[in-house]
Each structure stands twice: as C-alpha cells, then as structure tokens.
C-alpha cells in the first residue's frame, strides 16, 4: 500500500510564479499605495517592475518576446498581486487587450507591435469601447470611423470609462464603419483600430480624467476628426464586435482572479486583526459573532475560486468558456465584496482608518460587481444562453 499522501489537485497553480510575484510586491507596501491614492497618482514604478520581470507579457507568444504561457499562469500573477495588497488595475489590460491583435491582426501588425508591448517599450492599456449613451449596449455605440481615402479613417465620437488612457501609448478602439441601418446583421458594421495616442493627442484626440471613488485612472476620450491610418485596422472591416468578444472571456477570468486575491487579502487581514485585538479580556476572534462572518467569507472565496479554475482550464483547452468565465467573474466579485464588508466590520472603527489599508481595498473591490461587466448582464447571459429563457433585452 502506498503510504505517500496523494498530490493535492487543488493546490494553488504555478507556485513558482506566485512566489516570485509575492517577492516583487513586498517592495510596494501599503504606504506606497496610500500615497498614490491620496494624489490620484499612477503606479509607474510598480508597472515598470512588473514589466521588467516579464509578468505583463506572460500571454504573448515567445516568438514575440513574451513567456507564451496560458491564462492560468496570468491568473496566478494577478491573484497574487491583489492578495499582497497591491492593485493590478493600472496595468492588467496590458495582458489581455493584445489578444485582439494576436488573434486577428496581420502578420505585419503582430511583428510591429507585440515585441514592443512585451518589452514595455509600448503600453497597450487603453480600451475604447463604452460610450456615455450606450453603456453596455455596445452594438448601439455612435463613434464613427469613416474612410477618407484608401489610407485613412476619420474618427468622430466619444468614449467614457476608458481607463489608463493618460498612461498608454496605444488604444484599442471600437468604432462604427457602417451605419447601423445599413449593416446586414446587428453584430456587423463595427471595426477595431489600433490608435497611436502619442500621434493623435491634440490632433483630434482629447483626454479628460474622471475622478472616481477609487484611484482607477479613468478618463473620457473625445474624437474630433481624428485620423487613423488604414493600416491600423485590425482584421476585416465590420467584424470588430466579434474580435472584441473573443477577448472578453480572458478578461472575465483575469478580473475574477484579481477578485479572488482581494478576497484572500481581506480574509487574512481580518483573521490577523481578530487574533490580536483584545476586548473584555479576550481576543475578539474568540467570539462566534466575529468568527462566523470570516469563515463564511473564506468559504465563498474558496467556492468562487473553483469556478475561476474551471473557466481558466476550459479557456486553455480551447473550449467555449463564455458561461463559465461570466459566472466566475460574478461569483468572485461578489465573494470579494462580501469579504470586504466583513473585513471592515471586523476592524470596527479602524476599518475606516487610512493606515490599515482596509478602506482603500474596500473601495477598489466594490468596482468589480459593476465592471467590466455588471452582474445583471451576466445573469442575462446565463438566463438566455445557458438556460434557454427568452431574450430580455
């Protein structure tokens, strides 16, 4: 009889990656993030360190200078960043936005851009999709790109919640190239462009920061006769919505991984405080009224993590993981938010004190039940595409 314990199939994936990311994050403590939060600053040093270590190019194939690893490895990176109390929102899009170029760009486009994105010479972190009037109704967007001649498109319109536009060299832009009423299908007539914002800024491109509840470097972007070279069109004109959709499952899985990391940070923070904080002659963690919420939050995070792993495994296997990616994002974001509420309650008044970092992470965690896709839209997807219920919108 084999007396050796069986290897745990549910142990954290990629332990060597997790160890390295954890070590890097130790250099960026709470004081670093608190200062940025007060100043609404961008974590330039943190992004530079991640870039130089190769973590942001982990999904880019080796032939273009990346690590060529799968989404489970990328998930491990983002989960550990957030579990360490850091925030990957400043740069996580660098991981998955390039997927549109990788999957649908020409050979010349991939050779021109991907190696520079992998090295950090170029930042592709801005994603111009959402508009003030259409929100998540992407097919109703109004920004237009009209072909001026064979070499140029002229873009007019507005985007909102375009995060990191002030800190990105390139933007992936979705715009209408065929009027909606002339498109053969509802999902056609939209095209994707790679915009060099360095060349366009002040020449038809205007960026305005939006001050929000958390330091997310979000902006609104205006296009006024902005010219984009025709060679920057990704794939076939009119098929952009399909190209964007193909990258959204990766986005869902990666954001869900960040939420798992946030949840684990909140749980660790609450456990340690509940052990140390003494009231009425005993640690508050000895009281079931404090224990139970922490234990429940832990259980919710562990359950959500299983769905994130399932979605990542299906994605890597080339299986359509649309439902799983959406459910993973919903479950992980809700579990992280529950953990955030629990952590504040465990700390009592100190949960609101800046120096404990709880209030900062609390604000950051709240975002993900709304963005990048709201819970209601995920429930719509599951109801229609999984359960076969009538389309509601």
The reported pLDDT for the residue numbered 245 is 87
C-beta of residue 157 within 8 angstroms of C-beta of residue 220: no
Q: What value does the mean pLDDT take over residues 1-30?
A: 88
Q: What value does the mean pLDDT take over residues 85-114?
A: 95
Question: pLDDT confidence of 186, banded at 50, 70, 90?
Answer: confident
The reported pLDDT for the residue numbered 13 is 92
The reported pLDDT for the residue numbered 1 is 45
The reported pLDDT for the residue numbered 135 is 86
Residue 3 has pLDDT above 60, yes or no: no
Question: pLDDT confidence of 231, banded at 50, 70, 90?
Answer: very high
Residue 30 has pLDDT above 60, yes or no: yes
Residues 6+ apart with CB under 8 A from 385: 322, 323
Q: What would the pLDDT profile of 338-369 be if each residue is shown by its tens digit?
A: 999 999 999 999 999 999 999 999 999 999 99
Most confident of 5-19, 238-252, 347-361: 347-361
Q: Which is more confident, 184 or 260?
A: 260
Q: What value does the mean pLDDT take over residues 197-213?
A: 95
The model's pTM is 0.95
Residue 318 CA to residue 80 CA, distance in Å, equals 25
Secondary structure (3-state) at 172: strand
Q: What value does the mean pLDDT take over residues 59-64?
A: 97
The reported pLDDT for the residue numbered 4 is 59
Q: What value does the mean pLDDT take over residues 310-325?
A: 96
Secondary structure (3-state) at 280: coil
The reported pLDDT for the residue numbered 347 is 98
Q: Percent of the chain, pLDDT > 90?
A: 92
> What crossing angle do the helices spanning 240-276 and 358-366 adopt, rounded to 10°?
150
Q: Which is more confident, 194 or 150?
A: 194
Rounded to the nearest integer, the mean pLDDT of the chain is 95
- Residue by residue, DSSP assigns 324-381 as HHHHHHHHHHHHHHHHHHHHHHHHGGGGG-GGGSHHHHHHHHHGGGTSSS-HHHHHHH
Q: Which among 255, 245, 254 has a CA at the least distance from the CA of 190?
A: 245
């Amino acid at each position: 009889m084999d007396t050796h314990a069986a290897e745990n199939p549910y142990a954290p994936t990629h332990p060597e990656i997790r160890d390295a990311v954890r070590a890097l994050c130790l250099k960026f403590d709470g004081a670093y993030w608190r200062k940025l939060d007060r100043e609404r600053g961008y974590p330039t040093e943190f992004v530079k360190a991640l870039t130089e270590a190769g973590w942001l190019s982990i999904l880019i194939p080796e032939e273009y200078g990346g690590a060529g690893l799968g989404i489970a490895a990328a998930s491990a990176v983002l989960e550990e960043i957030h579990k360490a109390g850091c925030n990957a929102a400043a740069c996580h899009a660098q991981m998955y936005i390039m997927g549109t170029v990788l999957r649908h760009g020409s050979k010349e486009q991939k050779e021109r851009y991907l190696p520079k994105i992998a090295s950090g010479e170029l930042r592709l972190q801005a994603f111009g999709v959402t508009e003030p009037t259409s929100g998540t109704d992407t097919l109703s967007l109004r920004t237009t790109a009209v072909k001026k001649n064979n070499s140029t498109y002229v873009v007019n319109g507005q985007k909102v919640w375009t995060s990191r536009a002030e800190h990105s060299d390139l933007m992936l832009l979705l715009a209408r190239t065929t009027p909606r009423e002339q498109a053969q299908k509802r999902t056609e007539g939209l095209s994707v462009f790679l915009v060099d914002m360095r060349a366009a800024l002040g020449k038809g491109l205007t960026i305005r920061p939006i001050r929000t509840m958390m330091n997310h470097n979000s902006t609104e972007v205006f296009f006024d006769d902005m010219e984009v070279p025709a060679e920057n069109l990704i794939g076939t004109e009119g098929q952009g919505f399909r190209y964007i959709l193909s990258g959204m499952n990766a986005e869902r899985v990666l954001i869900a991984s960040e939420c798992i990391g946030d949840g684990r940070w909140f749980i660790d923070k609450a456990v340690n405080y509940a052990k140390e904080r003494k009231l009425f002659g005993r640690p508050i963690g000895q009281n079931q009224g404090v224990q139970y919420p922490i234990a429940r939050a832990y259980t919710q995070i562990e359950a959500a993590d299983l769905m994130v792993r399932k979605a990542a495994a299906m994605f890597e296997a080339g299986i359509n993981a649309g439902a799983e990616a959406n459910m993973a994002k919903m479950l992980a974001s809700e579990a992280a938010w529950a953990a955030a509420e629990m952590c504040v309650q465990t700390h009592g008044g100190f949960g609101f004190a800046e120096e404990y970092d709880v209030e900062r992470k609390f604000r950051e965690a709240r975002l993900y039940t709304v963005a990048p896709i709201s819970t209601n839209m995920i429930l719509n997807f599951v109801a229609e595409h999984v359960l076969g219920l009538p389309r509601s919108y």
